[in-house]
Amino acid sequence: MAGPNKPSNQNNNQNDNKKKAPIGFLGIVLWAVVLVLLLNTCTSSLQNSSTVEVRYSEFRQWVEAGYVDQVEMESDGYYFTVKEGTPPLTEYADKITQSLSEQQRNLFNSLLGGNMQQALEDSVTFVTAPVTDYTLVPLLNDMDVDYGTKRVTNSQYMLSVMLQTILPILIMVVAMVFIYRYIFKKMGSGGIGGVGGVGKANAKVYVEKKTGVTFADVAGQDEAKESLEEIIDFLHNPGKYTEIGAKLPKGALLVGPPGTGKTLLAKAVAGEANVPFFSISGSDFVEMFVGVGASRVRDLFKEASKMAPCIIFIDEIDTIGKSRDNRMGGNDEREQTLNQLLAELDGFDPGKGVIVLGATNRPEVLDKALLRPGRFDRRITIDRPNLAGRLATLQVHTRNIRLAEDVDLNKIAQATAGCVGADLANLVNEAALRAVRMGRKAVNQQDLLTSFEFVIAGSEKKGTVLTEQEKQMIAYHEVGHALVAHYQKNNAMPVSKITIVPHTQGALGYTLHLPEEEKFLMTEDDLLAEIRTLLAGRSAEEVVFGSKSSGAANDIERATDIARKMVTMFGMSDKYGMMGLATVQNQYLDGQMGLTCAQDTAAGIDNEVRSIIDRCHADAIRTLEEHRELLDKIASYLLEKETITGAEMVAIIQGRDPALAEVSLPGDIEPPAKSIRMTNEPIPMPPADGGVPPSQDGGADGDSSPDAPDHVSWD
């Protein structure tokens, strides 16, 4: 059945091409005719611009005066030239010269070598209207003027028409054909009748390991790698799966936050698969012309079926896979592209070994028909890495980095909870750049911690001038955060660093908190402790100065967000109980909530949120008033040093000398590097239960990730 149909399809394609080609060629001819006519028009206008019309009486006077040299008697007029040095030529040249500005005259003289007058006289031709005058010919004979018309034969006329019209058209057609072929060959078209590759898929094809990325370059996503390794094994060894009756999955959807490594994982698949790998972005299908996207989908799957077994990777598939909802107006081009994609996913035989991979960070907007089994059979979640994943990722990114002896990637992984792979790669690179700036040959622990700080807060603004009152208010604000966090040891993260040095990302100061262990669940007490810590800065301002500043804006925003989630999503409200009042709209992007309740309920939610915040605010004020003396001591020490560690703050609380904090607590501070070495051996992974030594590096110039805002509080 397949044999007879194939030639038929080929014949149809050939017939289609034959039909398209003449239309394209006709278009080229028409364009050539238009261009030649425009060219002739321009030539004629240029010729007319050097022709001066005169009255017949003036022409006869010039003949009688002996000025006229030659006369061409045409049907549309008498064209004549005058002798050199005669008044008509001189007057014409003077008139043209006087109409020009001095700058224009100087320009023409420089271009014509100072012979502008002579050039004007040589280029002019006079014309007058033909008048029936039987005395003109005798007068021309008497004045010895050459006159008459040139006899033109039919052959000469045809040759003139050929040279002036037909030949330029032919030359223009040939030139346009070659240009058209060259341009559209570069664009991937298929001849003159094509549309210049508009409907051709421009997917990049990787064969074998040309991407330069393998699974060894991907860390922290073991579950995703396992799922993809099974697909790759199916392509290489289909027999052991078909033997039991298993079918190859048609597609797998990679979902997760930005920066987690979806595209990197797809490139690693290309490096491991040893089969052709088609990589294309969803935006490459979308054009302003309706039907182009669908044509590109057809072309992509056609090419893939020829090279089966193979893998097709569509990045940012949400561009073409959005839900077909016409409530707000549809998009015909995108919907046609999606419909064609659905048809292709249903149409090809899974036994051929064509696997479709899609990547998106907006799975909630995808059409349900695209997600059903039989199209994308698997959804592979690539989430933020856990502690073991972050450690493995740091090991990957530091493979080619010279590391000092004091580097402890365990502590860096512990401090970067919530960071994705892209954040960790940027952190390592910033640390390497800092080491070069400091003149070192290797990256030490301090470089990693300082780059951590640089990523979240930016560099120090050393030129910022603050008043003494502003410094005092900032110092008490940050110490308020740290002191309240300290007295909530069971629920709040320990303080690592306090600074009142302004930074480039808008922070006039900040308090860095590093977790002692990774948490996957937050209890109600943990959330309330976090709110108290956030509001403690404003509470310190009220306790000490009896006033409020604008520095607590970010703290208030984050505290309100936590309290609202407690009421609407976590079921931690006495009034509403375990009632879901909101949903997350983009879980992998901004994480914003959308209320799913009545307006009266929304007003009640605001009251509950206000109650939680007021209660936590009162708790923070009470804690600071109870330890007012410590608040003053730590704030004074911070004003003196501008930046202190958590160990120094603990030393003041315990009544010890903060200057000796490093000596008294040697376990809290990393020892200086004694020697430089290359770290080639892998760093041991943490225990399976996630228990690692607590990070208490109080002397670090720490950084935190934008994705982990609960580790740092700044204003």
In three-state secondary structure terms, 260 is coil
Lowest average pLDDT, out of 30-39, 497-506, 681-690, goes to: 681-690
Identify any residues that bridge with 206 across adjacent strands, giving them in sequence order.
Answer: 277
Contact 443, 405 (CB under 8 A): no
Residues with Cβ within 8 Å of residue 551, at least 6 apart in sequence: 473, 474, 477, 508, 537, 541, 715
Nearest CA among 522, 584, 551 for reference residue 710: 522
pLDDT at residue number 21: 42
Known active-site residue 478: yes
Sign of CA dihedral 67, 73, 78, 79: negative
Sign of CA dihedral 614, 616, 620, 626: positive
pLDDT at residue number 461: 67
Q: What is the pLDDT of residues 270-317, one digit of tens each?
A: 778 778 888 888 877 776 556 677 888 888 888 888 887 888 889 889
Lowest average pLDDT, out of 249-258, 427-436, 627-636, goes to: 249-258
CA atoms within 13 A on the CB side of 318: 13
Average pLDDT of the residues in 620-629: 94
Is residue 259 scored above 80 in pLDDT? Answer: yes
**Which class for 621: exposed (0-12), middle (13-18), buried (19 or more C-beta within 10 A)?**
buried
Average pLDDT of the residues in 423-428: 91
Average pLDDT of the residues in 653-669: 63
**Top-ranked range on mean pLDDT: pick from 41-45, 211-215, 593-597, 673-677:** 593-597
Lowest average pLDDT, out of 238-242, 394-398, 684-688, goes to: 684-688
In three-state secondary structure terms, 569 is coil
pLDDT at residue number 192: 36
Lowest average pLDDT, out of 18-32, 213-227, 330-344, 613-627, goes to: 18-32
pLDDT at residue number 682: 40
The two beta strands, 68-74 and 354-360, are unpaired
In three-state secondary structure terms, 377 is coil
Average pLDDT of the residues in 85-108: 71
Lowest average pLDDT, out of 171-180, 241-250, 335-344, goes to: 171-180
Q: What is the pLDDT of residues 510-549, one digit of tens each?
A: 888 877 677 778 899 999 999 999 999 999 999 999 999 8
Tell me the percentage of the chain whose pLDDT exceeds 70: 70
Identify any residues that bridge with 315 across adjacent strands, giving them in sequence order.
Answer: 281, 359
**Which class for 215: exposed (0-12), middle (13-18), buried (19 or more C-beta within 10 A)?**
middle
Instruction: Band the pLDDT of 560: cuts 50, 70, 90.
Output: very high
SS3 annotation, 398-410: CCCCCEECCCCHH
pLDDT at residue number 369: 87
pLDDT at residue number 566: 94
Average pLDDT of the residues in 448-475: 79
Lowest average pLDDT, out of 273-287, 426-440, 590-604, 651-665, goes to: 651-665
Instruction: Band the pLDDT of 660: cuts 50, 70, 90.
Output: confident
Kindly report the length of the chain.
Answer: 715
CA distance 605 to 599: 10
Q: What is the pLDDT of residues 110-157, one digit of tens each?
A: 655 556 666 666 667 788 888 888 888 888 888 888 888 766 555 655
Lowest average pLDDT, out of 229-238, 279-288, 356-365, 561-570, goes to: 279-288
Is residue 108 scored above 70 in pLDDT? Answer: no
More confident residue, 427 or 199: 427
Q: What is the pLDDT of residues 16-56, one digit of tens each?
A: 444 444 445 666 667 666 666 666 655 554 444 467 788 88
pLDDT at residue number 710: 40
pLDDT at residue number 157: 57
Q: Which of 272, 453, 478, 541 is catalytic?
A: 478
CA distance 169 to 163: 10
pLDDT at residue number 75: 76
The alpha-carbon radius of gyration of the chain (Å, integer) is 42
Is residue 608 scored above 60 in pLDDT? Answer: yes
Instruction: Band the pLDDT of 613: cuts 50, 70, 90.
Output: very high
Q: What is the pLDDT of residues 54-89, one digit of tens each?
A: 888 888 888 888 888 888 888 778 888 888 878 887
pLDDT at residue number 193: 38
Q: What is the pLDDT of residues 309-336, one digit of tens each?
A: 888 889 889 888 888 766 555 567 778 8
Average pLDDT of the residues in 476-502: 85
**End-to-end CA gap in the chain:** 74
Identify any residues that bridge with 499 across adjacent strands, giving them in sequence order.
Answer: 510, 643
Largest Cα span, the chain: 133
Is residue 615 scored above 60 in pLDDT? Answer: yes
Is residue 93 scored above 60 in pLDDT? Answer: yes
Instruction: Band the pLDDT of 5: cuts 50, 70, 90.
Output: very low
Is residue 165 scored above 50 in pLDDT? Answer: yes
